[in-house]
Structure 1
Amino acid sequence: MFACNSDVYEASVMSNRSGQLQRILACCMAAAVLLCSPYAHALDVPGPLVDTDWLEKNIQQVKILDIRENLESFTESAVLVRKRFTGDLRIRRLGAHIPGAALVDFLNIRTSRDIDDRRVRYMLPEVTEFEELMQSWGVNDDDAIIIVYPGMSNSDATMATRLYWQIKFFGHENVAILNGGMARWLLEERAATLEAAGIVTGNWAARAINQAIYADSKDVTDAISSKDVLLVDTRGPGLYLGAYKQPYVRESGHIPGARIFPNELLTSNRPPVLFADPGDIRRLAGALGIDPDGKMITYCNSGQWASGSWFVFHELLGNKNARVYDGSMHQWALERRAITQMKME
């Protein structure tokens, strides 16, 4: 399961091998029972985030979606190193997965759309497209879904929040994210495997579309005019000010009137990457002139990072007036709308 280059770590693994093997077997058997039993019943997730203890205890009753960009790592060994003097375990390379998990290719969960004769990338898929994706991952209508992200960086945490937002948009409420992701699971030496589970096509279907968490260019234009909805730019200061831009964004800068709330503030900065305490987020938002309870639309370059701020404000802080601008700066600039440069607002 793990690759290791530390004699101290090898010794600690040998001394605990019997117990770890029992946990691995128990976890794999539980996952097999869940996949094969027609009587499996989903429980309700306790909130938008779950911890590793909760997931290990309830693994028989959930559907795990492991989202990552490096698909090969799903069946490759992780590399962990135990520090010789402190005994701390560090993760050098992510690998393996939780038994029973379905692999989700992050690059495949969004699509391109033609909007007013413009080809806009990284957008929500159509209903039928997303249903096919969910079914291909083995998701059923009544599943409790747990999303696992790599846990190695702030950016990969927002892969999970983007998928979470899309699942919520299409009406499925029983979903949560594993706080700390796969990195935390590995560092706690919980059962993991290199063997991909066989996936049985699910019957998941979209329900009532949740337009209340979605914003388009018109909504953003209205927010600028009315000034009663705050635009929250979740990118760093270089992108916000226009010092540079992503290649797929036509112009540099930010949407007029937007306040900056850098995405890096949402999580810790080293593996396992954990979501920040909601109280800290509330204080950070206030320090940047953002009312965490006010009406807001979050955006970034493509709608990925924006989902992270939406997740924190809407799900963790309970602000039901937070929305994501799906097209974000890519669509805004493509439509040649007003952009502000070299100015903090």
Structure 2
Amino acid sequence: MPLLTKLAAALAFAGSLALAQVAVAAPAVTPLVTGEWLERHLERDDVIVIDIRSPFAKSSREDYLKSHIPGAVWSEYPGYWRTERDGVVGVLPSVDKLEAALSELGVSEDKAVVIVPHGTTSSEFGAAARIYWTFKYLGHDAVAILDGGFNGWVAEGRPLASGGVTPVGDMFIANPRDSYLVSTQQVAAKLDSDTVLLDGRPEAQFSGLEKHGKATRFGRIPGAVGLDQANFYDLEAGRLKDREEIAALVELTISDKSAEIVSYCNTGHWAATNWFVLHELAGYENVSLYDESMVGWSRDEALPIASERTAFDDIKDFFRDLLG
């Protein structure tokens, strides 16, 4: 075969490969996708829709079986997304276990994932944000949350299906981003530094008047600033507030977008919403998540805690528990 003919054949083959790669590439997604976008992409084999309605959101698999987005697979939260280690609840499972679970769900690097929360409360949105963060930590960027969740989809009159959907397994290989996750030891090393320790809990827990049931002490990490993640959620609409309102709320607390930020709460759940809002929507690039959070921090008596709690608060709680 003449050299020019061989060259032409090689170029044609390379072109066909490029076209094949384009054909199988996962569609581009933004952190939040609309119902209109998702409906247009439902028939694609490279889009996986994960319905996470579960007892956490006062729902169940039975609700999923009765009605769900066509083609959506069901995944319970927290389920295999979180685990308990050394007495600390809600932490990230091992990468091996997550790779196995996501492979069973049919996830692979050339597929986009859309997470569907119920669309009810800020805490329930936090489940979607935590799963979203998990994908990002594992190195999978083609992931999104359905804006408005399942309730928004129904309110828009979009198609529904019933019965279960069996996932078609694939091979998911993680490429973890260590900068997305920090340990208790790493956070302790950041005390008295310029790092912003962002507490996503309600004011009563931030101040030390209340605490999570698994935390052993009341209060917050010294030097932390409070930003209750519920501030970002529009309860009536069942979704996050618009970008401009979110940006204004964030800038009131952290004006420097170059700041190093550690997002925490009790178990890394509410913290995931603050991470999502800052890192994915508001343009803060240096944000990590502390998944052990106050439950993990409070268990180590050598670590300091700041609190406005007084002995009188202890007495009030004692009698409340006694009479309750």
Structure 2 length-normalised TM: 0.82
Q: Partner amino acid for 1:221?
A: A
Deviations 1:94-148 (A, max 9, x none): xx2111111111121101223xxxx222111101110111122222331111111
The reply to whether residue 112 of structure 1 matches residue 84 of structure 2 is yes
Q: Distance in 1 between matches of 2:119 and 2:76?
A: 15
Contact 1:285 1:291 in 2 (8 A): no
Aligned to 2:69: 98
3-state secondary structure, aligned to 2:43 = helix
Q: Do residues 141 (structure 1) and 101 (structure 2) align?
A: no
1:195-274 aligned within 5 A: 195-207=163-175, 209-226=176-193, 228-270=194-236, 272-274=237-239
Aligned position for 2:51: 66
2:111 counterpart SS class: coil
Which residue identity is paired with 1:269? L
User: Aligned to 2:295, what secondary structure does the other structure show?
Assistant: helix
Task: Give the distance between the partners of 1:166 and 1:267, measured in 2 at CA.
Answer: 21
Partner of 1:3: none
Task: List alignment gaps of at least 5 residues for structure 2.
Answer: 1-21, 55-59, 310-324
Cα distance, 1:290 vs structure 2: 5.5
Amino acid at match of 1:53: E
**Corresponding position of 2:119:** 151
Q: Determine if contact 2:257/2:285 at 8 Å carries over to the other structure.
A: no
- Please say if 1:194 is aligned against 2:162: yes
SS of the aligned residue for 1:60 comes to coil
1:49 to 22, 32, 53: 32
Q: State the Cα distance separating 1:313 from its structure 2 match.
A: 0.5
Corresponding residue number in structure 1 for 2:267: 302
Q: Percent identity?
A: 32
TM-score (norm 1): 0.77
Q: Following the alignment from structure 1 to structure 2, what is the Cα–Cα distance between the partners of residues 57 and 211?
A: 35
Give 1:47's aligned amino acid: T
Quote how far apart the aligned CAs of 1:223 are.
Answer: 2.0
- 1:148 maps to amino acid: V
Supply the AA of the counterpart residue of 1:258.
A
Kindly state the Cα deviation for residue 301 of structure 1 after the two structures are TM-superposed.
0.5
Q: Give, in whole Å, the separation in 1 of the partners of 2:287 and 2:68.
A: 33
What do the CA deviations read for 1:131-178 (whole angstroms, capped 9, x no partner)? Answer: 111122222331111111110111111101100111111111111111
Task: Tell me which residue corresponds to 2:295.
Answer: 330
1:216–1:265 CA distance, 2 compared to 1 (3 A):
same
Query: How far is the alpha carbon of 1:45 from its aligned partner?
Result: 2.6
Q: Distance in 2 between matches of 1:167 and 1:308?
A: 14
SS of the residue corresponding to residue 266 of structure 2 reads coil
Residue identity in the other structure for 1:319: Y
Do the aligned partners of 2:29 and 2:143 also contact (CA within 8 Å) in 1? no
The 1:46–1:200 alpha-carbon spacing in structure 2 relative to 1, beyond 3 Å, is closer
The residue matched to 1:68 in structure 2 has which SS?
Answer: coil
Residue identity in the other structure for 1:58: H
- Given that residues 78 and 127 in structure 2 are in contact (C-alpha distance below 8 angstroms), is that contact kept between their aligned partners in structure 1? no
The structure whose Rg is larger is 2
Contact 1:111 1:122 in 2 (8 A): yes
List gaps (5 residues or longer) in structure 1: 1-38, 77-95
Higher helix proportion: 2
- After superposition, the Cα gap between the structure-2 partners of 1:40 and 1:98, relative to the gap in structure 1 and judged at 3 Å, is farther
Structure 1 partner of 2:65: 75
Measured in 2, the distance between the counterparts of 1:277 and 1:224 equals: 33
Q: Tell me the SS of whatever aligns to 2:212.
A: coil
Between 303-312 and 273-282, report the one with greater CA deviation.
273-282
For residues 147 and 50 of structure 1, the distance between their equivalents in structure 2, rounded to whole angstroms, comes to 10
Contact 2:129 2:276 in 1 (8 A): yes
User: What SS does the aligned partner of 2:24 have?
Assistant: coil
Instruction: Please give the secondary structure, in 1, of the residue aligned with 2:294.
Output: helix
CA gap of 1:40–1:105, structure 2 versus 1, over 3 A, is: farther
Task: Say if 1:72 and 1:291 are closer, same or farther in 2 by CA, change over 3 A.
Answer: farther
Match of 1:181 among 128, 149, 153: 149
Count of residues in Structure 1 that have an aligned counterpart in Structure 2:
279
Deviation per CA, 1:284-316: give whole Å up to 9, x if none: 123345645522101000001101000011011
Separation in 1 of the partners of 2:209 and 2:61?
33
Aligned counterparts of 2:232 and 2:61: Cα–Cα separation in 1? 25
Structure 1 range deviating more: 40-49 or 180-189 = 40-49
